[in-house]
Structure 1
């Protein structure tokens, strides 16, 4: 059955809440090094790991599978040829995607148009598997990074646009990070370098995801975790 964007938006927004109260789910996270949660966390949890602990440890959904298919350096264009390996073979119920940080480095005319098309393909292929999709805007980068702040903002706008046009639920990290930092740059205390979130930044990503899914709880140990992390130098 083909749905309009409005129908998808109504269905999937409510569907995620219903799914969290139902049978076990398989969650597949796709993205780049921010999703992979590589060395910049210095042994602390990534936002995907916080999510797994909140879901399986605190909410008692012990049979849910949380799979991290984030790959450092990846773009959404890199993902598509590898879609079966990184997404399809897991038969996901939910696909959570965050792209744009590396995509914004591609020097080509119309790069944002290609990004829009590829992101739409990711949504459609995931839906073809029967999965519900949740999109995330990339967080802002720090001052001095190779990425132009305006380009990052433009790519975040593309994610918002694709979410709106295809009726996909959205977690808008870029807007939240701009409110906590500056309109163009991430809060320094949330970064390990100019682009990678540190332990505090990863926790902030997790909190935004929890809020978007309706599972944020100030009394939860995961949600209320206090991280005193030195700012990037």
Structure 2
């Protein structure tokens, strides 16, 4: 009986160790999955930052450690909690094919009640299947922004212009840089008119096409780092 008890104890211990290894491996795989960033820190006492955006924020083609929100988190340190709410292919406009406002990440970003919202949308709105001109874009983009303002009036809004599109738009569903230019102007106008902070990623991207060599749209690791550094510099003005 004693031998059976010892065998049962060793079997249970081995099973517990195996379960721990499986859970630890699964967690590591999730954290390293493309573009997702949930910092393993408590938000108590930390300044919460929501990185809102499309695949450029999400980090398509990059590992988790290479996305701009993760790099920004490392730059800012333990007093900040940065969460990545980027969603691939989504748009600022609610009338477009994939509105950000319809995504689960949008709802999660509101529940996060961020102290700072970094909003970089517009790249996918530039597709001719979505684009209906700057007036409509401004109206629908401001509606999205206002949901963050009303959700938490203390949230500080930072509008980020989308980077230049270096692709060649060969079909209606492709991102169109001529429309991106109009979007950039609208974002700049909203920031000026409503006293939001502006982070000019479009200007940053000009002359740096090497960051977008993969497809002309998504930055590589160095491009993501440059975006994080630009955001860091802007936030640093408050320090």
Normalising by structure 1, report the TM-score.
0.70
Q: What are the equivalent positions in structure 2 for 1:162-173 lying under 5 Å apart?
A: 162-173=190-201
Q: What are the equivalent positions in structure 2 for 1:83-232 lying under 5 Å apart?
A: 85-107=107-129, 110-128=132-150, 129-130=152-153, 131-145=155-169, 146-178=174-206, 180-181=207-208, 187-214=209-236
| C-alpha contact (below 8 Å) 2:126/2:177 kept by paired residues | no
Aligned-partner Cα distance in 2 for 1:103–1:80 = 13
| C-alpha contact (below 8 Å) 2:128/2:176 kept by paired residues | no
Higher relative CO (CA 8 A, sep ≥ 6), structure 1 or 2?
1
What residue ranges of structure 1 are gaps of 5+ in the alignment? 1-22, 182-186, 216-233
The CA RMSD over aligned residues, in Å, is 2.1
Q: Rg bigger for which structure?
A: 2
Aligned-partner Cα distance in 2 for 1:205–1:190 = 13
Q: Which residue does the alignment assign to 1:55?
A: 76
Q: Which residue does the alignment assign to 2:81?
A: 65
Q: Which residue does the alignment assign to 1:8?
A: none
Displacement after TM superposition at 1:142 (Å) = 1.4
SS at match of 1:41: coil
- State the number of aligned residues: 181
Q: Which residue does the alignment assign to 1:228?
A: none
Q: Label 1:142 to 1:65 Cα distance change in 2 as closer, same or farther (>3 A).
A: same
SS at match of 2:233: helix
What do residues 85-113 of structure 1 show as CA deviations (whole Å, max 9, x unaligned)? 13211111111100111010143563432
What residue ranges of structure 2 are gaps of 5+ in the alignment? 1-44
Is 1:74 equivalent to 2:96 in the alignment? no
